[in-house]
Structure 1
Amino acid sequence: MTDLTALFTDLVRLETRLYNVLDARLKAEHELPLGQFEFLRFISAHGTTRVFDLARAMAITVGATSKAVDRLESAGRVRRTANPDDRRSSLVALTPLGERDLATAAPTVEAELNTWVGSVLPAEVLDHLATSLSMLRQRAESDRRTDRVPAAGSPEAASPR
């Protein structure tokens, strides 16, 4: 029987190491932190989006998301506009610079992931892993316990890496 605690530990440590490698390479080659890259990917995939939707997708607080969007906006990668359907929220869209930065950085991310994951696992194992992780993520996202707002000052409340 699989030791689920050991599996969890392996997942977390692998994620941390991969995140750090990808983040360092993106910063060095594109001056784009991985957290910002993930925001750009989400916005690109969804078109114009609300800050709240970004926060929910990234599993971070709205405050941390708003600060991250501020940084992206200051860098000229996104544009924030008033939401015509809800004056309390704003909409975020990629700028041409954001689209270009995402397009330029994406092959770097793919190459790094291929080095660390794609070249290690056979295609059928990789497909099974992708399906399994997607199922687990969807389960976690549908469980209200995973939507709790982190306490102020906790590591979870921090802005994206």
Structure 2
Amino acid sequence: MDSQTAYAVACKSGGGSALAQVFDDLVRTETRLYNHLNDRLRQAHGIVTSQFELLRHLRAHPGTRVADIAETFAIGIGATSKSLDRLERSGWVRRTPNPADRRSSLIELTTEGARLAGEADVTFTRELAALLGDASSPDDLVAAGAFLARLRASLEAGRVGVPTG
């Protein structure tokens, strides 16, 4: 029996060790991908992965609130605000008053932030394609993506892992 078949059999048996193995593989894979992308983004653009993720999110969702970003990334509002403060000091984002709620601001990319996000996205996509492409087929990526999307939706629907502060 090859390793993929053995893994599938162990997971289907529902044993605790199979679930622990899925957890270990998921977390260790994410950490290695994140660290590699962090190194490449820092070398090429002077930013780290967490900064790129915020810039990429703001490019896709201009005019979003700090609370919305915090919820999307499952991080605290304070941590989100501090991260955005750093991006603002670098001239990559700006806060504008929220006309619907004076207590909050809307966040958007500056011209420089949009330029950086676009350039960094080329590096991000190239590196991610190389890493994932070496270890998977297109069918593997579709299956893994579908599973992770269902898992994420289930966790988000149940508000699992949402910071309390």
User: How high is the TM-score relative to the length of structure 1?
Assistant: 0.89
Task: Give the deviation of 1:118 after TM superposition.
Answer: 2.1
> Letter of the aligned partner of 1:18 in structure 2?
L
**What residue is the counterpart of 1:33 in the other structure?**
48
- Of all paired residues, the percent bearing the same amino acid is 45
Query: 2:56, 2:153 → 1: CA distance?
Result: 18
Question: Which residue number in structure 2 is paired with residue 158 of structure 1?
Answer: none
Aligned-residue CA RMSD in angstroms? 1.1
Question: Are 1:103 and 2:122 an aligned pair?
Answer: no
Q: Pairwise mapping of residues 40-119 of structure 1 onto structure 2 (< 5 A)? A: 40-119=55-134
Aligned length: 150
For the residue of structure 1 that corresponds to 2:160, the secondary structure is: helix
Q: Is the 8 A contact 2:58 2:109 kept in 1?
A: yes
**Does the CA-based 8 Å contact 2:75-2:162 persist in structure 1?**
no
Structure 1 counterpart of 2:24, which letter? T
Quote the offset at 1:18 in angstroms.
0.8
Amino acid at match of 1:101: L
Tell me: higher relative CO, structure 1 or 2? Use CA pairs within 8 A at least 6 residues apart: 1
TM-score (norm 2): 0.87
Could you tell me which runs of 5 or more consecutive residues in structure 1 were left unpaired when the two chains were aligned.
151-161
- Provide the secondary structure at the position in 1 that maps to 2:103: coil
Runs ≥4 residues deviating over 6 A: none
Alpha-carbon deviation of 1:10? 0.6
For residues 24-67 of structure 1, the C-alpha deviation after alignment (integer angstroms, 9 at most, x for no partner) is 11011101111011001111111210000110111100000000
